[in-house]
Amino acid sequence: MKAIGFEQVDYVLIFNETDKHFPVAEVIKPQGGICSIVENTWPLPLELLKQKSGAFHWEWMYTRSMFKTPDMIERHKPLSEAARLIDAGTIRTTLGKNLGKIDAANLREAHRLLEEGRAIGKLVLTGF
């Protein structure tokens, strides 16, 4: 991908296939940044960012809790807000069907629904 013919942007967020999409480094503006939430398979060509003083950042939702960072409460804030919006009916979860307690019969039912390819939303089993 060459920057010619593409509008340059300040930031890029990669949601899948970091290796495939990393050439977007060529379209970020000087001092711009790229963030990815998914892993890469191959070494990333970070030299594409050097002359632009560009930044690359990983985001992983468990960093704060895994490393017990001083700002761990920051993870709580968006989760609490999401819970409030769900409770208020402003947004809905992706829950499709609650199949009940985990047991052999309910597990077979979950597999059946998934194998049919017609399940909508998430299937839930409880009691782990």
Residue-wise pLDDT tens digits, 103-114 = 999 999 999 999
Q: Where are the domains of the chain?
A: 9-59, 71-126
Q: Which two tokens stand for residue 3?
A: 């920057």
pLDDT at 5: 63
pLDDT exceeds cutoff 80 at 99: yes
pLDDT at 54: 96
Residues 33, 48 contacting (CB under 8 angstroms) = no
What mean pLDDT is reported for the chain?
92
Q: How confident is residue 128, by pLDDT bands cut at 50, 70 and 90? A: confident
Q: How far apart are CA 50 and CA 120, in angstroms?
A: 45
Q: How far apart are CA 8 and CA 4, in angstroms?
A: 9
Q: For 33-75, write each residue's pLDDT tens digit.
A: 999 999 999 999 999 999 999 999 999 989 999 999 999 999 8
Residues forming a β-bridge with 124: 98
pLDDT exceeds cutoff 80 at 4: no
As to burial, measured by CB atoms within 10 angstroms (0-12 exposed, 13-18 middle, 19+ buried), residue 35 is middle
pLDDT exceeds cutoff 70 at 3: no
| Nearest Cα residue to 97 out of 77, 70, 122 | 122
- pTM, to two decimals: 0.61
